[in-house]
């Protein structure tokens, strides 16, 4: 299970050092990165990516919403290899979509990792500290708990 929050940074070549604790949990020499939602990137270990991608691949592509999600997640996916220092080069198109500049926030969320620009995450997470919003979210999803 991938969990925990970390700070990181992109270098001038678009390289990103994956936190060692998350990299070890991947138990792989590679990962798949794609567009996420909320203007962040999603990163998966190869096996987890395969499980996620198969659901989209097997969905009925005659439905417009399915095609939209296939294009968003599958169309932008990139398989990346870790270098000896645990870095990956994030493709320019993905960096631009997530507005990644330098400082990043990395969140382990079970089967995936989210990669955020620090400023974008700060703006997004400003509402997460609101007890009313958290309570409303928990109540609306209470059947999960």
Interval 7-16 mean pLDDT? 93
Q: Is the pLDDT of residue 91 over 80?
A: yes
Domain 2-119 sits in CATH at 3.40.1550.20
Model pTM? 0.88
CA dihedral of residues 78, 97, 73, 92 (deg, nearest 10): -10
Q: What per-residue confidence (pLDDT) applies to 104?
A: 96
Residue pair 100/9 in contact by the 8 Å Cβ criterion: no
Q: Is the pLDDT of residue 12 over 90?
A: yes
Q: Which two tokens stand for residue 23?
A: 């990299």
Alpha carbons within 13 A on the beta-carbon side of 38: 12
Interval 6-16 mean pLDDT? 93
Q: Is the pLDDT of residue 134 over 80?
A: no
């Amino acid at each position: 299970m991938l969990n925990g929050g970390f700070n990181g940074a992109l270098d001038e070549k678009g390289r990103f050092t994956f936190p060692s604790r998350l990299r070890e949990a991947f138990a792989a020499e590679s990962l798949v990165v794609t567009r996420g939602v909320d203007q962040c990137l999603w990163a998966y270990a190869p096996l987890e990516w395969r499980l996620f991608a198969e659901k989209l691949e097997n969905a009925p592509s005659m439905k417009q919403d399915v095609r939209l999600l296939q294009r968003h997640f599958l169309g932008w996916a990139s398989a990346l290899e870790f270098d000896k220092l645990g870095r990956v080069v994030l493709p320019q198109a993905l960096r631009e979509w997530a507005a990644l500049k330098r400082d990043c926030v990395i969140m382990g969320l079970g089967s995936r990792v989210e990669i955020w620009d620090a400023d974008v995450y700060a703006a997004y997470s400003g509402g997460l500290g609101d007890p009313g919003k958290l309570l409303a979210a928990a109540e609306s999803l209470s059947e999960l708990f």
